[in-house]
Amino acid sequence: MHPGKEGVLGQLFGPVMTTDAMAAVTSDRSWLKAMLEFEAALAEVEAGAGLVPSTVVGPIGQCCLDYDDFDILALGRAGRMSANPAVALVAELRRRLPAEAARWVHFGATSQDVVDTAMMLVLRSALDLVLADLSRAAAAAADLAARYRCTPMVARTLLRHALPTTFGRKAAGWLVPLLEAASALQRIRHDRLAVQLGGPSGTLPGLGPGGPRLGDQLASRLGLVAPVIPWHTDRTRVVEAGAALVVAAGTAGKIALDVALLMQDEVSEAAEPAQPGRGGSSSMPHKRNPAMSAGAGAAWRMAQGLYAVLLAAMAQEHERAAGAWQAEAETLSELCRAAGGAVSVTADILAGLEVDEERMAVNLQLARPALGSSEGGTGNAEQFVDRALAFYRGGNWGVGGHD
Amino acid sequence: MHPGKEGVLGQLFGPVMTTDAMAAVTSDRSWLKAMLEFEAALAEVEAGAGLVPSTVVGPIGQCCLDYDDFDILALGRAGRMSANPAVALVAELRRRLPAEAARWVHFGATSQDVVDTAMMLVLRSALDLVLADLSRAAAAAADLAARYRCTPMVARTLLRHALPTTFGRKAAGWLVPLLEAASALQRIRHDRLAVQLGGPSGTLPGLGPGGPRLGDQLASRLGLVAPVIPWHTDRTRVVEAGAALVVAAGTAGKIALDVALLMQDEVSEAAEPAQPGRGGSSSMPHKRNPAMSAGAGAAWRMAQGLYAVLLAAMAQEHERAAGAWQAEAETLSELCRAAGGAVSVTADILAGLEVDEERMAVNLQLARPALGSSEGGTGNAEQFVDRALAFYRGGNWGVGGHD
Amino acid sequence: MHPGKEGVLGQLFGPVMTTDAMAAVTSDRSWLKAMLEFEAALAEVEAGAGLVPSTVVGPIGQCCLDYDDFDILALGRAGRMSANPAVALVAELRRRLPAEAARWVHFGATSQDVVDTAMMLVLRSALDLVLADLSRAAAAAADLAARYRCTPMVARTLLRHALPTTFGRKAAGWLVPLLEAASALQRIRHDRLAVQLGGPSGTLPGLGPGGPRLGDQLASRLGLVAPVIPWHTDRTRVVEAGAALVVAAGTAGKIALDVALLMQDEVSEAAEPAQPGRGGSSSMPHKRNPAMSAGAGAAWRMAQGLYAVLLAAMAQEHERAAGAWQAEAETLSELCRAAGGAVSVTADILAGLEVDEERMAVNLQLARPALGSSEGGTGNAEQFVDRALAFYRGGNWGVGGHD
Amino acid sequence: MHPGKEGVLGQLFGPVMTTDAMAAVTSDRSWLKAMLEFEAALAEVEAGAGLVPSTVVGPIGQCCLDYDDFDILALGRAGRMSANPAVALVAELRRRLPAEAARWVHFGATSQDVVDTAMMLVLRSALDLVLADLSRAAAAAADLAARYRCTPMVARTLLRHALPTTFGRKAAGWLVPLLEAASALQRIRHDRLAVQLGGPSGTLPGLGPGGPRLGDQLASRLGLVAPVIPWHTDRTRVVEAGAALVVAAGTAGKIALDVALLMQDEVSEAAEPAQPGRGGSSSMPHKRNPAMSAGAGAAWRMAQGLYAVLLAAMAQEHERAAGAWQAEAETLSELCRAAGGAVSVTADILAGLEVDEERMAVNLQLARPALGSSEGGTGNAEQFVDRALAFYRGGNWGVGGHD
């Protein structure tokens, strides 16, 4: 939410939760840019269909490139009058444009068309970042699984020593959900990010019988999916995107939890990558905290609540909601930041994970008396590693089943 | 949760939220039956692999058919000792079986293998019910969309009169998310319900090198997917199933909200199907309450919180969780009941919806002065209806995009 | 939610989450009993005010004692017609009563008056159980704090060794939030459990000008608070009760988490009370799982989501909600069971906690090299223990501040 | 969360949700100021106790006044190394201070002492704003209750016409929960905002036996409560503050929902205060949207999820959490902004509410045939108004009961 004169928001505690790159693609400026992309593309396809004069395309397009030049806080404050900033943005565009272009900009569209389409464009950039980090995390997990395929360690169930496993098997157990998360996000990325163009009542009344086709063209121009019909109060795709993001964050949360537990002094089987200053405490110079895992854990907890907001906003009344829709934009940005941050730092953890095979052996030995003969050894740990690696290399992660 | 001597739970307020059929497939007895199915099938595939004597298959299978004969509350109470009822169930099986069979039942498996696989079997039955009701709801919505394709009414945005639409267009706006919900649940139903067989440490140590293959066979026998590797602390599929269920509930919640709003005395454009006694009040005989929509709305609110539990339980430590996993079973059952109930009653509402076209015309007329010339009429409402119906008939609802 | 023919609900997984006593006071039968108490008391005060014939008091009171004799599932199913079982219950009462009594039973009341008042009566019994368990847990924590006031152990921050503390100080850190939770629940118990009597429109139209005073008398007779005005759509007290319950569960969750972490094989500084069979595994006879902590952790996770339902249902429209109110009853019962279960098992854990002072010394020694001179020793651990114990003995826990 | 180069966060969609004043007191700069207040006050009380040289108090105090001069984003980014910005802030202070002062600043404290105390100071400012707006909202609701004490309108239950009430009674139904919310927040404001001073292990090892007393003095100097003992992993007060905030938001949400429903074209009994441009649409100049109610509804939905994060972070392990604690600061700020925004705009709505008594009469007349004789008239609506107003004037809102 917005800062007053006293200063900005989200810069003091935010960086622990997310990356600079994700903060950038979900910033107010990126939203504004996306909203302006919608207006420029709309003018283009409308001119192509003869609905607006082709002479307005240039000026509108030019004006929409000036996204660095708009006063975002002023737009946001003006947005209080209509519960979203689109009305104010269109007014500002009209103020900047020559009369004819001012008349035709935003023609036939409604506020929600702009904001929803911008949301999809912002989501697209954000999902690409999360997917890249998931890919990085999966590569690192696969590498750990392969490298420590046969390294014995004790499996822990209900936080107690169970039978032996291998560290490779543990890493395989991180790898598979990373791939499942990537698969779910890819589906959203490619099949579910749709343009919104319904006009004031979801019927595109101002655009003539070519309206629906125009929506398809707009989708194509913006690289989005053309929906069957406008989805003003069908929030399935928003909630589905949120669900995939929060699942990715949860997978990161699980891995970070495991690493923090392995990093306990008495356990010491693995550690976050060392770096001068990392994990330091303001009072205990000797300490090395699992600061990365803590960041991932914090982001994961935030992601849960942020997703709950999207869910609480899902049942939207009639043709446009009074309150529910308005809760989504900021929330989805925060959710991208939280999930993206959790996944990114998890990729960093996995890529630089310090593994202490000797300590694993020691702790396993500790467990021996209780385990008894433990005839099975590490059982089929290696075989499961191989299955996970084959799945990883196979690339078709959507199903998550074994052939 | 469990009743004491004072009586049972969930029978007084529960029926408002769900159907008898859904209550049955998610009942304690159905869970018990599914757990026993796992044990019987495990013995079969293990005997096939020569891991257990083939003579134990018959007695174990027979005993596992007696699911009506177990004292569920006693199992549940005994479950306090291990935080789940599987240990007690296996002990009870052993008590009932001849010595040799008692020795080999549950061979190589762990408690979570039983409970997780049972969860998938219960989910399968539950999803089939939800899918049938989604199908029924979609058919009814499609019928409304077709029947009232051109019936003018006022579109309402932020609860205020916007421009005209048609009631068919509104019904199309219900139809599409019902199909999206069905598509998501079908994916879960067919691709994501997996057997669990990992043994005490996720490595199947007792089953020899054929262990992983045995898991595949068990999946095949139970009609479930064979996972890449055991998923004891990869809860993606549980959370994904929950997400699809809560989205279905949210779609039902949206439709029920619209109907309740349309049923307001001053609006009166549509009403839940009349039935003697339905919607009655204990103090005002004249009233006809939107009792079905209220039930759907209540179930939808419950579904949100129940899903949050699954999410809060997602990050599970090491090879089996201490607390997170144990929160899932009861929660997932409740979520099936809530989502299933919401969808089912919504299907009933849509199938019997009373539509007052005349009143729609009157209310639209009320809006005219403000709407001005309203040249666009109902715009492309009909075209959007046609697109939604074509999508419905096309059957490939996974993408939700227009070709 | 309700079972079908296949069997009951909540008996298989429920006992892990809650106690038999809590299951009993929140059972369907207890709800029914409370609803009937409302009807009996209403007739009494109405007869006292001359609003109904005094001859109907006896028959109504008698009939309302027969709560064991009603078919709960039939009432629940009939409740589908009105989205709550009150209409059906009143009808059933009328069927059972002689004509005159039948005419006057429930006079002037509405369904929500019955259900909301019953909710408060059920809550009262449930809160008394939770308060007793909090008291038990606090006594045990105080005992640990006193007994191990000076027992050195390593403090752990971000799961890493920090400086020394004492186990008494750790127990003091459990004691204080238990007292804070008790204080919050006591406030709810004594100040916020209010009768509901507003009639069909929140104005008690049928009871004449003495209506409001009658509500006060009804409150007095039932041992509840008399609210300023009927609170049909002011759900503050419901949400506040839920908030106090979930906070109690969270405190239990924190203690259980600590115990499970202390019980890790490599740490082994404390353990849940041993009992034959407790903590056993279906596959590893040697294991001793933190089964009680796992149960508390599961209940704590459920409590969070159940509270979210109450919150999602808080904004209720006009004079009675269509959907939001109807989600509360079952949810609040489940929340009582989850919070009550978490607190009760935590009291059991603390009362029988096994503490290994020697191991604490060993682990602390492990930390020494890193800690350096550690001049401060255990710092003011003992002083803080004394402050916590004085606070405990002082009894005025509402503020949580030091004098 | 934090912006990258592309621009800031929360200014585009944030202002719809909150006020400039609330954004200011919860901004990064306000947090920084509060953290520096802690460091300055700590040096003062430590010098008073002879723990640090009195000569360092001046330089430290001076440096801590320069809060406008710190690079917040740099601190935030440096915070990634330790999962919170306190370590970086202390380092920056030390860089700015002369050697002796640099040595003694932050003496004996830990990162969480700084951040938690700052959280309480930020909360104090935020709660004061919410309380002022609650007071304003209550005054407006009381005024409506008094003014329309006898104005008949139809009560609506389950969104359907019930019996008559008065608009004053409806406003009384808004007034009482506003007072309950104020009461709860006042209790937090005065009894529960506590200093945090526990040092690295919660035992204040560096401060000698006077450590605990020093904490009390620090509390007194900062105007906060002195807690019984440090509360590093007892998050009760954080969660309680969150619960009171979300309840205030829910009350605002209920009122906003009622107003939006009353503002429907077919109902038109009340409307948000008119202002040129307010409620405008980007496509329909004739429309007047409930933009204020929509903003409140959006903020209310966000508040629910943000509170869920605090709850998900409540069970914190051992003496400081790895992940849970780190999720609180940003979340609590957002929750203040959401709750504060919802309450503030609701106060604006109530203060300027346009009431159409004539339309109320017309709609009531519409209901008459169904209501029948409706002998009770508006029942005890006026009496309940009087009770609510007496409660309001009485000032002791904590109990919410009638004397």
DSSP code of B225?
Answer: B
Residue identified by tokens 């409140």 is: D296
- State pLDDT tens for residues A17-53: 999 999 999 999 999 999 999 999 999 999 999 999 9
Tell me how far apart the alpha carbons of residues C25 and A317 are, in angstroms, rounded to a whole number: 39
Q: What pLDDT was estimated at residue C279?
A: 80
Burial group, residue D353, by CB count within 10 angstroms (0-12, 13-18, 19+): buried
Hey, are the CB atoms on B1 and C21 less than 8 Å from each other? no
Is residue B28 within 8 A of residue C10, CB to CB? The reply is yes
CA quadruple B30, B35, B40, B44: dihedral positive or negative?
positive
Q: For residue A6, is pLDDT > 70?
A: no
Q: What pLDDT band is residue D285 in, cutting at 50, 70 and 90?
A: low
SS (H, E, C) C111-159: HHHHHHHHHHHHHHHHHHHHHHHHHHHHHHHHHHHHHCCCCEEEEEECC
Structure tokens at D342: 């919802």
- Average pLDDT (A67-75) is 95
Show residues of chain A in contact with C364, CB under 8 Å: none
Domains (ranges, CATH) in chain B? 14-26+110-394 (1.20.200.10)
Tell me how far apart the alpha carbons of residues B319 and B233 are, in angstroms, rounded to a whole number: 6
From B82's Cα to the closest Cα of chain D, the distance in A is 22
| Nearest-Cα residue of chain A relative to residue D108 | A283
- State pLDDT tens for residues C376-395: 689 999 999 999 999 999 98
The CA distances from residue C48 to C149, D9, D396, in Å, are 59, 64, 31
Give the nearest partner residue to D27 out of A4, A85, A329, using CB atoms: A4
Q: For residue C135, is pLDDT > 90?
A: yes
DSSP string, D241-298: HHHHHHHHHHHHHHHHHHHHHHTSTTT-SEEPPP-TTTT--SS-TT----HHHHHHHH
What letters, b where the CB count within 10 A reaches 16 and e where it falls short, cover B97-126? Answer: beeebbebbbbbbbbbbbbbbbbbbbbbbb
Q: What pLDDT was estimated at residue C303?
A: 98
Hey, are the CB atoms on A260 and C159 less than 8 Å from each other? yes
Q: Which residues pair with D339 in a beta bridge?
A: none
Torsion angle (degrees, nearest 10) of CA A197, A199, A203, A208: -90
Is residue A71 within 8 A of residue A78, CB to CB? The reply is no
Show residues of chain A in contact with B376, CB under 8 Å: 203, 205-206
A289 touches chain C (CB under 8 A): yes
The CA distances from residue B44 to A47, B47, B205, in Å, are 69, 5, 19
Q: What pLDDT band is residue D3 in, cutting at 50, 70 and 90?
A: very low
DSSP string, C228-296: SS--TT--HHHHHHHHHHHHHHHHHHHHHHHHHHHTSTTT-SEEPPP-TTTT--SS-TT----HHHHHH
The count of other CB atoms within 10 Å of the CB of residue A146 is 17
Q: What pLDDT was estimated at residue C155?
A: 97
Task: Name which of C266, C304, C359 to mutate to probe chain A: the one with the most chain A Cβ atoms within 10 A of its Cβ.
Answer: C266
Q: For residue C5, is pLDDT > 90?
A: no
Is residue C66 within 8 A of residue C40, CB to CB? The reply is no
- State pLDDT tens for residues A212-226: 999 999 999 999 999
Is residue A198 within 8 A of residue B372, CB to CB? The reply is no
Hey, are the CB atoms on D82 and A282 less than 8 Å from each other? yes
B341 touches chain A (CB under 8 A): no
Show residues of chain D in contact with A338, CB under 8 Å: 1
From A71's Cα to the closest Cα of chain B, the distance in A is 27
Is residue D66 within 8 A of residue A46, CB to CB? The reply is no
Sorted by sequence, the CB contacts under 8 Å of residue A294 that are 6+ apart come out as A256, A260, C158, D83, D321, D322, D323, D326
- Average pLDDT (D188-201) is 97
Q: For residue B90, is pLDDT > 80?
A: yes
Catalytic, out of C320, C333, C337, C344: C320
- Average pLDDT (C304-327) is 97
Q: What pLDDT band is residue B1 in, cutting at 50, 70 and 90?
A: very low
Mean pLDDT, rounded, of chain C: 94
B79 touches chain C (CB under 8 A): yes
Residue identified by tokens 């069997």 is: C7
From B46's Cα to the closest Cα of chain C, the distance in A is 16
Q: For residue B134, is pLDDT > 70?
A: yes
Q: What pLDDT was estimated at residue A354?
A: 98
Q: What pLDDT was estimated at residue C9?
A: 82
- State pLDDT tens for residues A132-183: 999 999 999 999 999 999 999 999 999 999 999 999 999 999 999 999 999 9
Hey, are the CB atoms on D263 and B160 less than 8 Å from each other? yes
- State pLDDT tens for residues C231-285: 999 999 999 999 999 999 999 999 999 999 999 999 999 999 998 888 876 666 6
- Average pLDDT (D321-347) is 97
From C204's Cα to the closest Cα of chain A, the distance in A is 32
Axis crossing angle, helix A236-262 with helix A167-187, rounded to the nearest 10: 160
Q: Report helix, strand or coil for D194.
A: strand
Hey, are the CB atoms on C308 and B308 less than 8 Å from each other? yes
Q: What pLDDT band is residue D279 in, cutting at 50, 70 and 90?
A: confident
Is residue D295 within 8 A of residue D345, CB to CB? The reply is yes
Interface confidence, given as ipTM, is 0.95
C267 touches chain A (CB under 8 A): yes
Q: What pLDDT was estimated at residue D102?
A: 98
Q: For residue A293, is pLDDT > 80?
A: yes
Task: Name which of C160, C309, C359, C371 to mutate to probe chain A: the one with the most chain A Cβ atoms within 10 A of its Cβ.
Answer: C160
Structure tokens at A261: 């537990």
Q: What pLDDT band is residue D397 in, cutting at 50, 70 and 90?
A: confident
Hey, are the CB atoms on B163 and A205 less than 8 Å from each other? yes
Weakest-pLDDT range from B46-55, B342-351, C326-335, C393-402: C393-402
Q: Subunits touching C (CB < 8 Å, at least 3 pairs)?
A: A, B, D
- Average pLDDT (A324-341) is 97
- Average pLDDT (B292-316) is 98
- Average pLDDT (C344-373) is 89
Q: For residue B374, is pLDDT > 80?
A: no
Tell me how far apart the alpha carbons of residues A17 and D328 are, in angstroms, rounded to a whole number: 12
H or E element: which one contains A156?
Answer: strand A152-157
- Average pLDDT (D226-244) is 98
Q: What pLDDT was estimated at residue B366?
A: 86
Q: Is the pTM of this model over 0.95?
A: yes
First to last CA, chain A: 48
Mean pLDDT, rounded, of chain D: 94
Mean pLDDT, rounded, of chain A: 94
Q: What pLDDT was estimated at residue C399?
A: 58
Q: What pLDDT was estimated at residue A5?
A: 44
Show residues of chain A in contact with C308, CB under 8 Å: 308
- State pLDDT tens for residues D351-363: 999 999 999 999 9
- State pLDDT tens for residues A83-130: 999 999 999 999 999 999 999 999 999 999 999 999 999 999 999 999
- Number of residues that this document lists for chain B: 403
Hey, are the CB atoms on A72 and D7 less than 8 Å from each other? yes
Hey, are the CB atoms on C12 and B75 less than 8 Å from each other? yes
Hey, are the CB atoms on C10 and B14 less than 8 Å from each other? no
Q: What pLDDT was estimated at residue C355?
A: 98
B267 touches chain A (CB under 8 A): no
